[in-house]
Amino acid sequence: MISKSPIFKSTQDIKTELDKIPHLGYEFLSKDKNLYTHSLLLIGILNRTYDLTESAIWAIDNNRPQSAANMFRALIETLGFTYYSWEQVLPGKNEGVYKKIIALFFGSRQAGAQFQSVNILTCIDKAVKMFPELRRNYDDISEIVHPNSKSFAYSGKTVGVDKSMQVKFKIPFYEFKTGDKEKITNQVGECCYYIQAICREIMEKLKN
């Protein structure tokens, strides 16, 4: 869990939050007829968040735990990056801040790129100031995303009780482990919620 609130108990709860993203994007763009780098950055973050959240909802509703895990991990990265972007605008509206925003928007890992993108773990570790469990959540979900024992465990389940207990394997196997569906539903919803909240704070800070 990223924080104690809000609580998302179903994908419909997430969908309610997801539906706010297009309206927030329109709100950003309608405030000023001019298009700025920070506007493009925020719209890009929101669009990425919408895509990942919508895909996570589909995965949860269709009992695709590994697909849901991949979407959630990407949402944590997006939340970490969004928080890091927020930190960059804290000094206020000045030339130094806008240079940082340009670097954030145009950042790339490609060799020879004018602006190098920030390491995502750096972003997540900074975001722990606001979301204390974020790095642990990221490390935990990475265990399922990566090809290792936790991801391989999603290929079967135990059946029967006591001495008759057996393990049933099936390909493809689509089923969440006990409690995982509820946990990832809440966490996906939290990411969607907090990314929007931080984007709004960034815009408010830059317009002052």
What pLDDT is stored for residue 38 in this prediction?
81
Of the chain, the percentage scoring pLDDT greater than 90 comes to: 50
pLDDT digits (tens, 9 = 90+) for 60-88: 999 999 999 999 999 999 999 999 999 98
pLDDT at 117: 74
Percent over 70 (pLDDT), the chain: 83
pLDDT at 10: 96
Q: Per residue in 48-63, pLDDT tens?
A: 999 999 999 999 999 9
The angle that helices 20-30 and 180-207 make with each other, rounded to 10 degrees, is 10
What is the per-residue pLDDT across 78-116, written as a single tens digit (0 to 9) for each? 999 999 999 988 776 566 777 787 777 666 666 766 666
Q: 80: buried, middle or exposed (CB in 10 Å: 19+, 13-18, 0-12)?
A: buried
- Taking the C-alpha atoms of residue 118 and residue 159, their distance in angstroms, rounded to an integer, is 46
Task: Give the 3-state secondary structure of the chain.
Answer: CCCCCCCCCCHHHHHHHHCHHHHHHHHHHHCCCCCCHHHHHHHHHHHHHHHHHHHHHHHHHCCCHHHHHHHHHHHHHHHHHHHHHHHHCCCCCCHHHHHHHHHHHHCECCCCCCCECCCHHHHHHHHCCCCCCHHHHHHHHHHHHCCCHHHHHHHEEEECCHHHCEEEECCCCCCCCCCHHHHHHHHHHHHHHHHHHHHHHHHHHHHC
Amino acid at 99: K
Q: Would you say residue 202 has pLDDT above 80? A: yes
What digits encode the pLDDT tens for the residues 140-184?
999 888 888 677 777 767 766 666 677 777 778 788 888 899 999
For residue 85, give the nearest of 46, 34, 31, 134 by alpha carbon.
46
Is residue 87 within 8 Å of 126, Cβ to Cβ?
A: yes
Q: What is the pTM of this model?
A: 0.87
Band (pLDDT 50/70/90 cuts) for residue 204 is confident
